[in-house]
């Protein structure tokens, strides 16, 4: 049970905001001796309307491009001061992580800074109006990948960001979901206690951008995991570690509850597209051994 959150209530997140829950769970796992750096994005905007802040730990707003570089500097400065116990954490959106800030993440991981990089993954650039990012799943409609007569929405699969960080030699890379808070908290504890650059990607449903009822955030998150569209796993020193096992549900169960996928159920060849999405889920089951 979280008794007093290090993310104060009264911020301006939407009711049912997945990223707000992600931030709350991350702080629960990391504890008070932490410094958080965040680039522009929904979480930063709704928690830090000047001169207020919802963060009960020090929080630094970076540019979109460079939270990993700012965190590297903080970690180096703390090291010089002999304060290596303080957790240096980035909490950034998927647009900042998968696309615009990827260069500075690569540099920080290459240099081997002792930082934990958290991506709250709401699968689009939400703060500027639901534009497609490298994390947007196949066939999701966004304002820059709209579904229409000639389109089924986003034509590209989701970028495999965890694999990119594993390839950097990170000692700890994990995925998680806000639907499973204890798992998020434990993974953040592990990541912050692990020396070196660590990465956790937390699936954080966005009721405003995915179009579902604000009371359904946890259920939507759970369905992403249970359909194998969001595999939850750990990679420790490059080897697959603990995997969240599932009794696999059909992908329709997840797609049907979000209006960003509505066209799959109304357009003529929607069934063929749903079959392709089922194949993405089945490939995840095989790759991570999710079933059994
Ligand atoms: C260099 C730069 N480009 C664009 C923007 C405008 N911008 C601000 S927030 C945002 C969306 C952020 O998306 P994401 O990182 O996924 O976080 P989310 O809003 O979805 O939580 C964009 C494009 C900016 N601030 N800086
Ligand atoms: Mg986003």
Mean pLDDT of 169-183: 98
- How many Cβ atoms sit within 10 Å of the Cβ of residue 263? 19
CB of 270 shorter than 6 A to ligand 1: no
- The band of 268, judged by pLDDT with boundaries at 50, 70 and 90, is confident
Testing ligand 1's pocket by substitution, the residue of 20, 64, 135, 206 carrying the most ligand atoms inside 8 A of its CB is: 64
What pTM value is reported for the model? 0.98
CA-nearest residue for atom 11, ligand 1, is 125
- Cα 110–Cα 113–Cα 118 angle in degrees, nearest 5: 95
Q: pLDDT of 199-253, one tens digit each?
A: 999 999 999 999 999 999 999 999 999 999 999 999 999 999 999 999 999 999 9
Q: Is 139:158 a contact under the CB 8 Å cutoff?
A: no
Of 112, 119, 115, 130, which Cα lies nearest the Cα of 14?
130
Residue 153 confidence (pLDDT): 98
Q: What is the pLDDT of residues 71-130, one digit of tens each?
A: 999 999 999 999 989 999 999 999 999 999 999 999 999 999 999 999 999 999 999 999
Q: What is the pLDDT of residues 23-72, one digit of tens each?
A: 999 999 999 999 999 999 999 999 999 999 999 999 999 999 999 999 99
Q: What is the CA radius of gyration of the chain?
A: 18
Is the CB–ligand 1 distance for residue 64 below 6 Å?
Answer: yes
Mean pLDDT confidence for 186-198: 98
Among residues 255, 216, 42, 16, the alpha carbon closest in space to that of 129 is found at: 42
**Which atom of ligand 1 is least distant from the CA of 100?**
1
CB of 95 shorter than 6 A to ligand 1: yes
pLDDT at 1 > cutoff 90: no
- In the prediction, which pLDDT does 257 show? 98
Domain limits, the chain = 18-288
- Number of helices and strands in the chain (H, E): 12, 10
Residue among 6, 42, 5, 79 at smallest CA distance from 209: 42
Q: Which ligand is nearest to the CA of 92?
A: 1
* Minimum-distance ligand 1 atom for the alpha carbon of 44: 21
Atom of ligand 1 nearest to the CA of 135: 16
For the segment(s) 18-288, the CATH number from 3.40.190.10, 3.40.50.970, 3.40.50.620, 1.10.40.30 is 3.40.50.970
Separation of 98 CA from ligand 2 center, angstroms? 10
Residue 101 Cβ < 6 Å to ligand 1: no
Residue nearest to atom 1 of ligand 1 (CA): 64
CA angle 40, 68, 117 (to 5 degrees): 90
Q: Cis ω on the peptide bond leading into residue 16 (within 30° of 0)?
A: no
Ligand 1 centroid from CA 98, angstroms: 12
């Amino acid at each position: 049970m979280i008794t007093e959150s290090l993310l104060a209530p009264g911020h301006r997140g939407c009711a049912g905001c997945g990223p707000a829950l992600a931030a709350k769970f991350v702080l629960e796992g990391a504890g008070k001796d932490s410094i958080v750096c965040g680039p522009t994005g929904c979480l930063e905007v709704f928690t830090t309307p000047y001169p207020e802040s919802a963060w009960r730990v020090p929080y630094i707003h970076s540019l979109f491009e460079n939270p990993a570089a700012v965190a590297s500097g903080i970690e180096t400065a703390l090291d010089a001061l002999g304060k290596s116990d303080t957790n240096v954490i980035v909490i950034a959106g998927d647009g900042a992580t998968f696309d615009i800030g990827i260069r500075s993440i690569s540099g920080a991981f290459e240099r081997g800074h002792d930082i934990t990089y958290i991506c709250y993954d709401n699968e689009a650039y939400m703060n500027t109006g639901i534009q497609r990012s490298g994390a947007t799943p196949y066939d999701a409609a966004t304002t820059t990948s709209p579904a229409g007569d000639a389109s089924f929405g986003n034509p590209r699969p989701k970028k495999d960001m965890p694999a990119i960080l594993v390839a950097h030699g990170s000692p700890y890379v994990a995925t998680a979901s806000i639907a499973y808070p204890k798992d998020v908290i434990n993974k953040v504890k592990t990541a912050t206690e692990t020396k070196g650059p660590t990465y956790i990607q937390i699936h954080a449903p966005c009721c405003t951008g995915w179009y579902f009822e604000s009371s359904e955030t946890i259920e939507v998150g759970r369905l992403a995991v249970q359909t194998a569209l969001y595999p939850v796993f750990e990679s420790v020193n490059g080897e697959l570690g603990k995997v969240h096992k599932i009794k696999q549900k059909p992908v329709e169960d997840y797609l049907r509850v979000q209006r960003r996928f509505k066209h799959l159920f109304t357009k003529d060849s929607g069934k063929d597209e749903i079959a392709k999405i089922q194949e993405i889920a089945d490939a995840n089951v095989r790759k991570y051994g999710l079933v059994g």
